[in-house]
Amino acid sequence: MAESKSLRVAYGETLVELGAENDKIVVLDADLAHATMTNGFAGQYPERFFNFGIAEANMMCAAAGFAHSGLIPFCSTFALFGAGRAYEQIRNSISYVNANVKLALSHSGLCVGEDGGSHQSIEDIALMRVLPGMTIFVPCDPIETQKAVRAAVEINGPVYIRVARPVCDCVTEEDTPFIPGKANIMRDGSDVAILATGLMIPEALKAADLLADEGIKAAVVNFHTIKPLDADCVLKMAEQCGAVVTAEEHSIIGGVGSAVAEVLAGNSNAKFARVGVNDKFGKSGKPADLFKAYGLTAENIAANCKKLIK
C-alpha cells in the first residue's frame, strides 16, 4: 500500500519532479506556498517560482502571459480564491483564448474544516465546468493526484485540478489507468451504480460494502475527470444497473451530479439521486463532522441507493 499523504503534498512533490524533467514549467502562487505546497518547487527552482502576493487576478493574467511565451504555468492558491476571486481573469485571459495554464487549486470543499464556510469552495467545479475548453480533474488519492498533474502537462489548454487538504489513504494503485475523460470502474455491480469523485471515492467503496452485506450489488465508478465527462460510461452503468447515485464533496448544483444528470436526461430511464452539499454553504468544524452533517458518508450513500431500488 502506498504512503498516505495529503493531496496537496502529492501535488507539491510532483511539481518538484516535473521541474527537473521540463524546464518550461513555472509555478505561480498567491502568498500561500506553505499551504499549497509549492514551496518545495520554490526551494529547488527559485528562478521559476513567482509569488504574486494576495493578488490572484494579477497572478492569472501573468500566467496567461507565461503561457503565450511558450511556458507551462501552474497557478496555485486556495480553490475559493482562485476559482472565485479570479474568475473573470480565468474566463477572459485563460479560457477564452485557450491559454495553456494549469490551475491546481487546493483546500477545496468542506474538508478545509475549521476555516469555515467563507473558505470552503463548494461551487468551484461548477464555475470551472461552464468554461469552454476547460479540463477538470478531481483526484481521489495521492497516487491519482500525481497522475493528474502529469496528465495536465500533456494537455494543450487550460486544466483545473481540484486538490484536497486532508491526509488520504491510497485507494488506487500505481498501475491504475488515468486517462483524461475515461472513468475507472473500481467495483462492478448490477443493482445500483455509485458514480463518485474525489474524496467521496472511499465513502462510495464503503457504501458498496454496506450494501453487499444486504445482498445488494453496487458498482463504484471513479470519475476522476469531470470535464470531459465519460458519458459512455454513465449510460453503460445506467443501463446495467437501472439506478444511479452520484457522490461528491461539492454542491449538487453544477458538479458531477449535474453533469451526470445532463447525460441521463433524454437518454436513460434509470432512477437517479445525488449525494453532495444540498444548496447550502459550509460551516466551521472538523472535516469528519462536516461530512457527517452534510450527508457525505457511506451510510447516506447506501441509504440513497436503497431508496432508489426499493
Q: Where are the domains of the chain?
A: 5-168, 184-309
pTM, full prediction = 0.96
- For residue 119, give the C-alpha cell: 473558505
Q: What is the mean pLDDT of residues 90-95?
A: 98
What is the per-residue pLDDT for 168? Answer: 87
DSSP-derived pairing of the beta strands 135-137 and 271-277: unpaired
- From residue 169, give the alpha-carbon distance in Å to each of 15, 143, 228, 275: 20, 10, 26, 22
Of 114, 110, 104, 172, nearest in space to 142 by CA:
172
| Burial grade of 295 (CB within 10 A; 0-12, 13-18, 19 or more) | middle
- For residue 108, give the C-alpha cell: 477545496
- pLDDT tens-digit series, residues 191-236: 999 999 999 999 999 999 999 999 999 999 999 999 999 999 999 9
Q: Cell numbers 501573468 label which residue?
A: 62
Task: Judge whether 5-168 and 184-309 match in fold.
Answer: yes
The rounded mean pLDDT for the chain is: 96
- Find the range with the poorest average confidence among 4-8, 151-155, 241-245: 4-8
Please give the CATH architecture assigned to the domain spanning 5-168: 3-Layer(aba) Sandwich (3.40)
- The answer to whether 272 and 261 are in contact (CB under 8 A) is yes
In which band, very low, low, confident or very high, does the pLDDT at 1 lie, cut at 50, 70 and 90? low
- The answer to whether 160 and 148 are in contact (CB under 8 A) is no
- From residue 135, give the alpha-carbon distance in Å to each of 39, 233, 235, 237: 25, 18, 21, 23
What is the per-residue pLDDT for 115? Answer: 84
- The answer to whether 91 and 119 are in contact (CB under 8 A) is no
What is the per-residue pLDDT for 283? Answer: 93
56 in active site: yes
Please give the CATH architecture assigned to the domain spanning 184-309: 3-Layer(aba) Sandwich (3.40)
Task: Select which of 13, 56, 144, 248 is catalytic.
Answer: 56
Buried b (16+ CB within 10 A) or exposed e, 23-38: eebbbbbbbbbebbbb
DSSP-derived pairing of the beta strands 135-137 and 225-227: antiparallel
